[in-house]
Amino acid sequence: MSVIYVGVGEFAISNRPGEVVKTLGLGSCVAVIAQTPDARLVGLLHVALPESGINRRLAEERPGMFADTGIPQLLQEMRKRGWNSGPLQIKLAGGATIMDPNNTFNIGKRNLLAIRKVLWAFRLGAIAEDVGESISRTVWVNVGSGQVIVSSPGRGEWEL
């Protein structure tokens, strides 16, 4: 079984049945998983921050770092790989939070808000989410079955 590892600010797309697309150690970062209903085309994006305005140069080099540049790029690349703009199933995992009344450290929450806003602009919305809480997550998706699994140290793994 081949596994494609997706780093922070990166994305991967696969249409090889049986392949696994995986990203490790999501804290406040969010994995955006997009797949066609038959799960033959799967994309996974690892978003680190909400807005690209904070570093335009980096956004050009690695658009996947930010929600507002990463999601359009993921969808554009999926089109190149055969997505015909038909229905897409979106799942989200990550966006962990730490309680901070000053709101400075609530990056996970800000990431999720930005991601939902960008998805909405493409008339897309998540059908399942495993987000928030103060936990670290690893997530992977099986191309072909479309099964999405989330795991966290000390908590085991579960299907999303």
Partner 1 sequence: MGTVAGEERAERLVEAITRRVQDVPLLPSVVSRLLEVVGREDHSINDVVRLIENDLSLTTRVLKVANCAAFGRGQTITSLSRATLHLGEKMVIGIAIGSCSPQLFQRPLEGYGSAAGELWDHSLRTALATREVVRYAHHEVSSDLAFTAGLLHDVGKALISEFLEGQTGALVQSCREGHSGDFLAAEQMLLGTDHAEIGYALARRWSLPDPLCAALRDHHRPDLALDFRELVFGVHLGDLAAMLGGSGTGADTLAYKVETGYEEYLRLDKDDLDRILLIVQDEFRRTKASIFSELEAGR
Calpha distance 46→7 (Å, rounded): 7
| Contact call for residue 135 and partner 1 (CB under 8 A) | yes
Q: Between 43 and 50, whose beta carbon lies closer to partner 1? A: 50
| Contact call for residue 84 and partner 1 (CB under 8 A) | no
Binding residue for partner 1, selected from 4, 14, 28, 91, defined by CB under 8 A = 28
Q: Residue 57 burial (CB < 10 Å; 0-12/13-18/19+)?
A: exposed
Mark the segment that binds partner 1 (CB under 8 A) among 24-32, 36-44, 72-80, 114-122.
Answer: 24-32
Binding residue for partner 1, selected from 49, 67, 75, 150, defined by CB under 8 A = 49
SS3 145: coil
- Please say if 110 is a catalytic residue: no
The answer to whether the beta carbons of residues 32 and 13 sit under 8 Å apart is no
